[in-house]
């Protein structure tokens, strides 16, 4: 590991500082899960072609919920085939040891952190999770697992009446929707933990951004929030150009053009060791 990075981590860990990690779509791509928000593939449903940009909107769901559900179920099946990687495993181990000193925010919706048994209290999924749904009418913010019978659905054929019946809200009987923050929606606290995330950022001294795509506004805001603490530092780990790298360097942090799976596990292990 880079000597300057090692000194930075040991300094914050040894002084009792809190660590905030943001995992981006680059982490999922290392596990074979394609980008969710930048999916270039067309989706054909009942003979009509749709783009991902319109499939991730309340506007289309309001008009054609079956189309939106069919696409999200296809993406769920793809996420299900992916396996947690070195980053997910290292983060879960570190969370067990560090407890409240480590929080993880993921911009991914594939559920890979959860599948590593990452402690729920230390994980934020502000963009949502493909494996869950909630009431489309908002009768309750409670999340419900997508029925197992639908989790392997890979066909682009129209949803059947029996399949649609499985997508009803257990509380009110109305239609559910995927637990995903769509492009024409805003973050809130009950479903997306926006206030909790920003408060966590304010209490963190070291932010590590790994594989951040730049596609999600909240992760960008977290990085800027950290800079308000003049003692805090940002470390960016990403083989792809992104706006956080420049911000990290300007504010006394570091940026590495390295795959997250190569460097982030070392960062977490070093922090745990220095924290005692």
DSSP secondary structure string for all residues of 220-240? HHHHHHHHTSTT-EEEEE-SS
Q: What is the pLDDT of residues 40-95, one digit of tens each?
A: 899 999 999 999 999 999 999 999 999 999 999 999 999 999 999 999 999 999 99
Per-residue pLDDT, 73: 97
Q: What is the DSSP string of 168-218?
A: B-TTTSSBEEEEE--TT----HHHH-HHHHHHHHHT-SEEEEES--S--HH
Q: pLDDT-derived band of residue 152, with 50, 70 and 90 as boundaries?
A: confident
Residue 275 reports pLDDT greater than 90? yes
Across the range 119-134, mean pLDDT stands at: 97
Residue 23 reports pLDDT greater than 90? yes
Q: Where are the alpha helices (DSSP H) in the chain?
A: 3-14, 25-30, 52-55, 58-63, 65-81, 86-98, 112-115, 161-165, 189-192, 194-202, 217-227, 243-250, 260-275
Give dist(CA 33, CA 25) in Å, integer: 8
Give dist(CA 166, CA 105) in Å, integer: 30
Residue 1 reports pLDDT greater than 90? no
What's the chain's average pLDDT? 95
Per-residue pLDDT, 166: 98
Q: pLDDT-derived band of residue 276, with 50, 70 and 90 as boundaries?
A: confident
Per-residue pLDDT, 64: 97
Q: pLDDT-derived band of residue 222, with 50, 70 and 90 as boundaries?
A: very high
Q: Where are the domains of the chain?
A: 3-33+84-128+188-275, 43-81+131-180
The CATH number that domain 43-81+131-180 falls under is 3.30.1600.10
Domains 3-33+84-128+188-275 and 43-81+131-180 share a fold: no
Residue 243 reports pLDDT greater than 90? no
Strands 43-45 and 128-135: unpaired
Per-residue pLDDT, 38: 84
Q: pLDDT-derived band of residue 19, with 50, 70 and 90 as boundaries?
A: very high
Q: pLDDT-derived band of residue 213, with 50, 70 and 90 as boundaries?
A: confident
Per-residue pLDDT, 51: 95
Per-residue pLDDT, 217: 86
Choose the CATH number for 3-33+84-128+188-275 among 3.40.50.1220, 3.40.50.700, 3.30.390.30, 3.40.50.150: 3.40.50.1220
């Amino acid at each position: 590991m880079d000597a300057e990075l090692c000194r930075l981590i040991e300094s914050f860990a040894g002084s009792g500082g809190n660590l905030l990690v943001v995992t981006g779509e680059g982490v999922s791509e290392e596990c074979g899960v394609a980008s969710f928000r930048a999916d270039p593939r067309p989706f054909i449903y009942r003979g009509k072609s749709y783009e991902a940009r319109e499939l991730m909107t309340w506007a289309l769901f309001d008009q054609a919920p079956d189309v939106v559900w069919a696409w999200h179920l296809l993406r769920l099946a793809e996420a299900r085939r992916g396996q947690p990687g070195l980053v997910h495993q290292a983060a879960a181990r570190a969370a067990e040891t560090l407890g409240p000193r480590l929080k993880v925010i993921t911009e991914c919706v594939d559920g890979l952190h959860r599948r590593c048994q990452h402690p729920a209290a230390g994980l934020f999924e502000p963009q949502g999770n493909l494996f869950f749904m909630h009431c489309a009418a908002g009768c309750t913010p409670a999340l419900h697992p997508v029925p197992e019978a639908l989790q392997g659905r890979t066909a682009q054929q129209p949803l059947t009446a029996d399949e649609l019946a499985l997508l009803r809200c257990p509380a009110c009987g109305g239609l559910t929707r995927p637990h995903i923050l769509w492009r024409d929606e805003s973050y809130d606290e009950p479903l997306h933990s926006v206030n909790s995330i920003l408060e966590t950022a304010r209490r963190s001294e070291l932010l590590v951004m790994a594989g951040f795509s730049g596609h999600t506004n909240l992760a960008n805001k977290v990085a800027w929030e950290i800079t308000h603490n003049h003692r805090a530092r940002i470390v960016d780990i990403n083989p792809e150009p992104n706006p956080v790298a420049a911000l990290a360097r300007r504010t006394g942090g570091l940026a590495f053009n390295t795959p997250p799976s190569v460097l982030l596990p070392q960062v977490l292990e070093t922090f745990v060791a220095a924290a005692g």
